[in-house]
Structure 1
């Protein structure tokens, strides 16, 4: 073999930092050793992987092609090392989930996953759809569970389960007695909704097509619980996943509103990088999600 895993590590660290000194520091190497490893990798194949401008190294076209393959190869090597060290098929799993999924579904899956292999570690990052998809794209997460639709040539986005949004208000709100809302009522209402970039907001905007520019959106909040509290306080009406509202509906602190002319159905999705090595841990996580 004409290259080493260490050379690939230096290549990836340099691509990430765009500076050989910072790359060396991240790998606990000397600057000269890191520079030599990268130079040897390029010389062995008579190629250049970076465009050099002073001390900054920017991936060129060949470097961008090599990046996901090198990342995948190192992840497989890391998986093998963890198996040999821990005598298990499952190593650390880095999962990203959007707020609805992360707060209401992913924790249960994580508990089941970790109970199967005592000592296995799961890192759960919760953020909006755009952030999770970007982290998967850059190999910062092994798998994402998202609410919004996402298209990217390097991402494999697979439907997981059905969901729907529900418009809701406090029991004391004037619309609570009305129950059914037409377009006129939607335009007259004051809204508290999720922020741009979230899957929930994406579905809401699509459902309100034709009305959105004229709607009175008072607050855009990142957290589901903050929206529920604001609606309970009578600041306006909201629209969130039915999954997040089930307990509040049972308590009676919030009430659902029917909007027959609008379609709030959507799906949750798995998102993985197309070049990502599908470890046994990833496969088992997907199986547990499907079994919910």
Structure 2
């Protein structure tokens, strides 16, 4: 074999940082050694993986194509090494979750997973759906939990559980006493919504098809809690996942509003890169997420 796993690690770290100094630092080696290893890899196969501009290294088309395969191979090699060392013990897994899932579901799952697997380490990143998909696609995350629909040839999407959005307002809002929104109410309301690119906004826009351009969207915010606070302050009407609102409804700080003319049901999904090696840790994570307490709470 004309290449080593170490050369692939250097290639991938350089592709991630687009800088040899940072790549070498990540791998605890000298910059000169990293540079020489990368140069040797390219010379061995008479190829160029990066476009070089000063100290910046940008993956070219060939580098982009080979990066995915190199990531998959390194992941499998790490899993094999872990199996050699720990038999079937679970190592580190990197999970990404879109905001509603990350803040209201995933934290409890992480706690239970680590309680059941004390040797495991789980890192959790919480961002909007677009960011999570990007990081799964680039192997920065092992698995993602998202709230919206995607169509990407590199991503394997698996159904997880049902969810639904709920419209809501402040107890002091004029609509609070009525409890149900008509089509006219939808058009007259001042909406406080998640930003475009989020799974929640995708579902809301789909549910409002036909009248979406006519809606009055007063505020767009990236964080669920900020939307809840704005609605509590009587600045408008919101629409978020039911899982994010249950406590506020119980306390009476927010009031649910039925919208019989619109369908706010949606699915939550697992996403993995189609070339991702499914380690023992990922298998156990999926099994825990699919247990009745998280699928049918």
**TM-score, normalised on structure 1?**
0.92
Q: What SS is found at the alignment partner of 1:269?
A: strand
Q: What SS is found at the alignment partner of 1:89?
A: coil
Residue 279 of structure 1: CA displacement? 0.7
Change (3 A) 1:229 1:94: same
What corresponds to 2:255 in structure 1?
A: 255
How far, CA to CA, are the matches of 1:52 and 1:247 in structure 2?
A: 53
Residue 94 of structure 1: CA displacement? 0.8
What corresponds to 1:185 in structure 2?
A: 185
Q: Any residues of structure 2 matched to 1:122-141 within 5 Å, and which? A: 122-141=122-141
Provide the alpha-carbon RMSD of the alignment. Answer: 1.9
Does residue 245 in structure 1 map to residue 245 in structure 2? yes
How far, CA to CA, are the matches of 2:30 and 2:170 in structure 1?
A: 62
Structure 1, unpaired ranges of 5+: none
Does residue 151 in structure 1 map to residue 151 in structure 2? yes
Q: After the TM superposition, list the runs of 4 or more consecutive aligned residues in structure 1 that deviate by more than 6 angstroms.
A: none
Q: What SS is found at the alignment partner of 1:178?
A: coil
Q: Any residues of structure 2 matched to 1:84-99 within 5 Å, and which? A: 84-85=84-85, 89-99=89-99
Q: Would you say the 8 A contact 1:168–1:254 is kept in 2? A: yes
Change (3 A) 1:260 1:84: same
What corresponds to 1:33 in structure 2?
A: 33
What corresponds to 2:173 in structure 1?
A: 173
1:78-106 Cα shifts (integer Å, max 9, x gaps):
23344455565211111111111111111
Deviates more, 1:275-284 or 1:30-39: 30-39
Q: Any residues of structure 2 matched to 1:15-26 within 5 Å, and which? A: 15-26=15-26
Q: Would you say the 8 A contact 2:97–2:124 is kept in 1? A: yes
Q: Any residues of structure 2 matched to 1:189-208 within 5 Å, and which? A: 189-208=189-208
Deviates more, 1:160-169 or 1:150-159: 150-159
Structure 2, unpaired ranges of 5+: none
What corresponds to 2:62 in structure 1?
A: 62
What corresponds to 2:105 in structure 1?
A: 105
What corresponds to 1:210 in structure 2?
A: 210
Residue 269 of structure 1: CA displacement? 0.8
What corresponds to 1:43 in structure 2?
A: 43
How far, CA to CA, are the matches of 1:209 and 1:148 in structure 2?
A: 16
